[in-house]
């Protein structure tokens, strides 16, 4: 049975960057570009001057990177002290979150076209409501996107993973050796490793520019073994492979 990856590659890696931070534009995008790699950037587009804010991202999309949806207002649990009282996921309905996602989508489409696109759950959380009325909003996401990124324990098995609850490794404060280790461990097992990054020397969830550089150099040098591509692209490839597997099984 042929494996899921093309051209003799052994595994896949997706480099993902959340929240549209400035250092992604002036550090991550050029670093990926130097090594011929493409990533996924999950944006919110929530500012009043969102058209201005999204303008540089249109160029990023033009370079072949994926612009993913990360909701408009980035709603997270009210248990976080940075969430205003009464504005947490516990206080929202499914209609609220659908509207938030669709507003973001409209803005991203205006600079990056119709997709297919992937989604990233803000704060890795997928619910609205509390207690007996708490509900998952994964079904809403599955209706709208080819794939969605959460957080998890391991890399993703292309045969088994729920494409709308993909596991990723949060990489804040990791060095290059740790990130490369995650990619190589996944590749050794034929899996799809998704790394979640935020700022490069920016914010509280940062990685160092030097570590991103070494990671990208490694992935570029290993491109015949490791397929590095945006989340939506790998998800589309996995879906097509699953379709072929199912068709073979019916024969
Ligand atoms: Zn976020």
Beta-carbon contacts of 120 under 8 Å, excluding residues fewer than 6 positions away, are 16, 18, 42, 68, 69, 70, 148, 149, 196
Q: How far apart are the CA of 37 and the centre of ligand 1, in A? A: 22
H/E stretch holding 238 reads helix 231-250
Q: Which CATH number among 3.20.20.370, 3.40.50.720, 3.40.50.150, 1.10.10.10 corresponds to the domain 11-250? A: 3.20.20.370
Quick: pLDDT tens for 78-98.
999 999 999 999 999 999 999
Q: What is the pLDDT of residue 251?
A: 80
C-beta of residue 58 within 8 angstroms of C-beta of residue 234: no
Phi-psi region of 38 (alpha: psi -120 to 50; beta: other; left: phi over 0): beta
Q: How far apart are the CA of 238 and the centre of ligand 1, in A? A: 25
Q: What is the pLDDT of residue 187?
A: 97
The structural domains of the chain, with segments of one domain joined by +, span 11-250
Q: Mean pLDDT across the stretch 190-215?
A: 97
Quick: pLDDT tens for 55-72.
999 999 999 999 999 999
Residues 45 and 47: their CA atoms lie apart, in Å, by: 6
- Quick one: how far is CA 69 from the chain centroid? 9
45 pLDDT band, cuts 50/70/90, is confident
* Cα-Cα-Cα-Cα dihedral sign, residues 25, 11, 233, 145: negative
C-beta of residue 163 within 8 angstroms of C-beta of residue 146: yes
Residues 196 and 27: their CA atoms lie apart, in Å, by: 16
Beta-carbon contacts of 118 under 8 Å, excluding residues fewer than 6 positions away, are 40, 66, 68, 69, 145, 146, 147, 148, 149, 230, 231, 232, 235
Q: How far apart are the CA of 119 and the centre of ligand 1, in A? A: 11
Classify strands 40-43 and 11-18 as parallel, antiparallel or unpaired.
parallel
Q: How far apart are the CA of 244 and the centre of ligand 1, in A? A: 35
Comparison of pLDDT for 98 and 46, the residue scoring more: 98
Q: How far apart are the CA of 1 and the centre of ligand 1, in A? A: 38
Q: Count CB neighbours of 218 within 10 A.
A: 18
Q: How far apart are the CA of 44 and the centre of ligand 1, in A? A: 8
Give ion ligand 1 contacts, CB < 5 A: 18-19, 122
End-to-end CA distance of the chain: 14
Q: Helices marked H in the chain — which ranges?
A: 22-23, 29-34, 50-62, 94-112, 138-144, 176-188, 209-221, 231-250
Q: How far apart are the CA of 8 and the centre of ligand 1, in A? A: 34
Q: How far apart are the CA of 142 and the centre of ligand 1, in A? A: 19
C-beta of residue 167 within 8 angstroms of C-beta of residue 130: no
Quick: pLDDT tens for 131-161.
999 999 999 999 999 999 999 999 999 999 9
DSSP state of 202: -
Q: How far apart are the CA of 19 and the centre of ligand 1, in A? A: 5
Residues 236 and 147: their CA atoms lie apart, in Å, by: 9
2 pLDDT band, cuts 50/70/90, is low
Q: How far apart are the CA of 76 and the centre of ligand 1, in A? A: 9
Tell me the average pLDDT of the chain.
96
Q: How far apart are the CA of 190 and the centre of ligand 1, in A? A: 28
Phi, psi torsion values for 192, nearest 5 degrees: -110, 110
Of the candidates 38, 37, 46, 39, the one whose C-alpha atom is nearest the C-alpha of residue 19 is: 46
Q: How far apart are the CA of 122 and the centre of ligand 1, in A? A: 5
pLDDT at 1 over 90: no
Q: Count CB neighbours of 121 within 10 A.
A: 22
47 pLDDT band, cuts 50/70/90, is confident
Q: How far apart are the CA of 131 and the centre of ligand 1, in A? A: 24
Quick: pLDDT tens for 175-197.
999 999 999 999 999 999 999 99
Q: How far apart are the CA of 41 and the centre of ligand 1, in A? A: 11
Place of tokens 């996921």: 89
Beta-carbon contacts of 110 under 8 Å, excluding residues fewer than 6 positions away, are 51, 54
Residues 244 and 89: their CA atoms lie apart, in Å, by: 39
């Amino acid at each position: 049975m042929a494996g899921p990856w093309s051209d003799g590659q052994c595994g896949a890696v997706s480099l993902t960057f959340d929240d549209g931070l400035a250092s992604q534009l002036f550090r991550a995008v050029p670093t990926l570009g130097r090594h011929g790699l493409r990533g996924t950037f999950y944006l919110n587009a929530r500012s009043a001057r969102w058209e201005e804010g999204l303008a540089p991202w249109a160029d990023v999309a033009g370079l072949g990177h994926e612009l993913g949806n990360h909701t408009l207002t980035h709603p997270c649990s009210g248990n976080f002290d940075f969430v205003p009282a009464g504005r947490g996921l516990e206080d929202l309905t499914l209609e609220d979150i659908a509207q938030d996602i669709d507003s973001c989508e409209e803005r991203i489409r205006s600079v990056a076209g119709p997709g297919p696109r992937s989604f990233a759950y803000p704060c890795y959380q997928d619910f609205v409501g509390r207690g007996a009325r708490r509900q998952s909003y994964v079904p809403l996401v599955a209706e709208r996107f080819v794939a969605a990124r959460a957080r998890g324990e391991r890399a993703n098995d292309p045969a088994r993973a729920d494409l709308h609850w993909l596991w990723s490794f949060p990489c804040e404060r990791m060095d290059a050796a740790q990130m490369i280790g995650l990619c190589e461990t996944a590749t050794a097992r034929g899996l799809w490793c998704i790394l979640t990054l935020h700022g490069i020397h920016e914010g509280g969830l940062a990685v160092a520019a030097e570590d991103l550089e070494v990671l990208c150099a490694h992935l570029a040098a290993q491109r015949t073994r490791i397929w590095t591509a945006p989340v939506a692209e790998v998800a589309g490839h996995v879906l097509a492979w699953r379709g072929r597997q199912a068709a073979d099984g019916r024969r």
